[in-house]
Structure 1
Amino acid sequence: MPIVTWDGSLAVGHEMIDQHHEHLVELLNKTYDEFCDRKSKQNLEAVLDELIDYATYHFAQEELLMEKVAFPAAEEHLAEHAYFITRIGEIQKEFLAGTSAISLEIITFLKNWLVRHISQKDLELGAYATAHEGRPVVIDLN
């Protein structure tokens, strides 16, 4: 059973972002399934690596989009991405070192962060990018 269901409530209205988010939700659900099925540490490690790699790729693509459309809330958005990458890196490091296991608390943190970020920050970015993509950026030099 998935921990997050991809549906219209998570769509932000930007094709690339929505495709990426759908894949992130799939990877989070895969991580949750591996955890629930009590798969080997290697299986859980592999899916966690995939989730981190894809999140990093997705954030980079969003950041390019923010730059392209001169997204006014980019700094705050980037700070959220940095926090997530730092936190998930800590989780991965502790897991690989054997000092911490992947727990339901960690999976819940990942789910809550992702759903909140999508439904708040990415919804704002999606609307702004859709409205401003392809338009020339006007810079007031006065």
Structure 2
Amino acid sequence: MEPVKWDESISVGVEALDSDHRRLVGMINKLAEALDAGESDKVLLNLLNGMKNYAIEHFSREESYMLFIKYPGLKAHKEQHARFVRKVIGFEADYKRDRALLGQTIMPFLMEWLIGHIMESDKKYCAYIPK
């Protein structure tokens, strides 16, 4: 599976949030590597759960920042985050029923969602960042 690539075009211009985004990219890539290496279900579920928990921490930081800069799209953005968390929780249950879903459905979703979310949703609050 091709790794997710981080580059500066993905940056939102807030180092703490960019650092979180880089770490999430790394966690998704580590999960993909573990899947490709045939790691055990326990290892894969621990990696998926760890990524979900870190995403929740990041979402809290990001939402606090959006509140601080008075971003008017905060409510809709928070709902995107909540939908993502619900989806990943569902993936954990799906994976326990069918391991093949990790490579077929879950990994492509995680890879596409993260970069798409940053580029399409997170970039919107950049206009509200104080100069």
Q: TM-score, normalised by structure 1?
A: 0.84
Equivalenced residues, count: 129
Offset of residue 2 of structure 1? 4.9
Choose between structure 1 and 2 for higher RCO, CA contacts under 8 A separated by at least 6 residues: 1
Offset of residue 16 of structure 1? 1.2
Mapped contact 2:52–2:88 kept (Cα < 8 A): yes
Provide the residue aligned with 1:26 in structure 2: 26
Provide the residue aligned with 1:139 in structure 2: none
Aligned Cα RMSD in Å? 1.5
Mapped contact 1:12–1:122 kept (Cα < 8 A): yes
SS in 2 for 1:103: helix
Provide the residue aligned with 1:77 in structure 2: 77
State the percentage of identical aligned residues.
30
Determine the C-alpha separation between the residues in 2 that align with 1:5 and 1:26: 9
Determine the C-alpha separation between the residues in 2 that align with 1:46 and 1:25: 16
Provide the residue aligned with 2:106 in structure 1: 106
Alignment gaps of 5+ in structure 2: none
Mapped contact 1:17–1:126 kept (Cα < 8 A): no
Determine the C-alpha separation between the residues in 1 that align with 2:107 and 2:42: 17
Give the 4+ runs in structure 1 shifted more than 6 A. none
Offset of residue 125 of structure 1? 2.0
Determine the C-alpha separation between the residues in 1 that align with 2:3 and 2:104: 11
Offset of residue 75 of structure 1? 1.3
- What is the identity, as a one-letter code, of the residue corresponding to 2:36? C
Offset of residue 53 of structure 1? 0.7
Larger radius of gyration: 1
Determine the C-alpha separation between the residues in 2 that align with 1:126 and 1:38: 40
Mapped contact 2:69–2:130 kept (Cα < 8 A): no
Offset of residue 94 of structure 1? 2.6
Determine the C-alpha separation between the residues in 2 that align with 1:39 and 1:104: 16
Q: TM-score, normalised by structure 2?
A: 0.91
